[in-house]
């Protein structure tokens, strides 16, 4: 776990920042949305981009409403209008989205032409993405041993993992929403053993 000594963020937390910097050198990014209300990526964008929206996911709270002043957004049903954003970023979110493909479609809808979705998820060497749970009308059905990650809003080990995304099919899964997709290898520090792979999805 390579970490920055000044901000204590690890390489995964920081990996999106150099990709954003590269993109800003060749395109206008006026309005951005980060899918959380904390973290190094959000702090960087607030200093570099004029209009930056942040939010959290609150179960049962519709997108567009606020909880103690914090915007609620469900990526599967966003409150943003069509073609209103230049950039969307997220760090380790889509593995917790019950219908991640719907989330990619919603991101495509709200991005302007030439807009970008930049995100990270844990990537595995599985031949294809594995589904760990499914949301049904009766509730959540879990396949095998449940996997949980920490959540800022709900606490430790509270965010159920729905997907173990495969490095071999993540690009094709996101491309189904209409994006042109590639993996970008990011190395934050010389001592970092493996690059962090950022998914870059462009709307053309």
Q: pLDDT tens digits, residue range 72-87?
A: 999 999 999 999 999 9
- Residue 4's pLDDT band (cuts 50, 70, 90): low
- Percentages helix, strand, coil for the chain (3-state, rounded to 5) are 20, 35, 45
Q: Which tens digit of pLDDT belongs to each residue from 21-30?
A: 999 999 999 9
Average pLDDT score over the chain: 94
- Contact indicator for 4, 17 with CB cutoff of 8 Å: no
Q: For position 143, what pLDDT does the model report?
A: 96
Q: Which helix (H) or strand (E) holds 163?
A: strand 163-166
Q: For position 155, what pLDDT does the model report?
A: 80
Q: Which residues have CB under 8 Å from 3's CB, separation 6+?
A: 9, 10, 11
Domain ranges of the chain: 11-124+167-202
- Contact indicator for 166, 128 with CB cutoff of 8 Å: yes
- CATH assignment of 11-124+167-202? 3.40.50.150
Please name the residue that has the structure tokens 């053309």: 204
Pick from 69-73, 116-120, 191-195: least confident: 191-195
């Amino acid at each position: 776990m390579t970490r920055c000594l000044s901000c204590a963020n690890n390489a995964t937390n920081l990996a999106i920042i150099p990709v954003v910097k590269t993109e800003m050198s060749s395109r206008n990014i006026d309005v951005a949305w980060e899918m959380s209300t904390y973290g190094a990526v959000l702090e960087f964008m607030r200093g570099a981009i004029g209009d930056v929206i942040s939010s959290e996911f609150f179960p049962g709270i519709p997108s567009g409403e606020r909880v103690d002043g914090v915007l609620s957004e469900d990526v599967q049903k966003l409150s943003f209008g069509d073609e209103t954003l230049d950039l969307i970023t997220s760090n380790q979110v889509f593995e917790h989205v019950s219908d991640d493909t719907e989330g990619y479609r919603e991101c495509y809808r709200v991005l302007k032409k030439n807009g970008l979705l930049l995100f990270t998820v844990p990537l595995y060497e599985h031949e294809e993405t594995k589904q760990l749970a499914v949301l049904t009308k009766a509730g959540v059905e879990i396949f095998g041993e449940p996997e949980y990650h920490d959540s800022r809003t709900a606490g430790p080990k509270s965010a159920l993992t729905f997907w173990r995304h495969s490095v071999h099919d993540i690009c094709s899964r996101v491309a189904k929403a209409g994006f042109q997709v590639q993996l970008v290898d990011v190395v934050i520090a010389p001592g970092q053993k493996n690059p962090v792979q950022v998914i870059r999805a462009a709307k053309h």
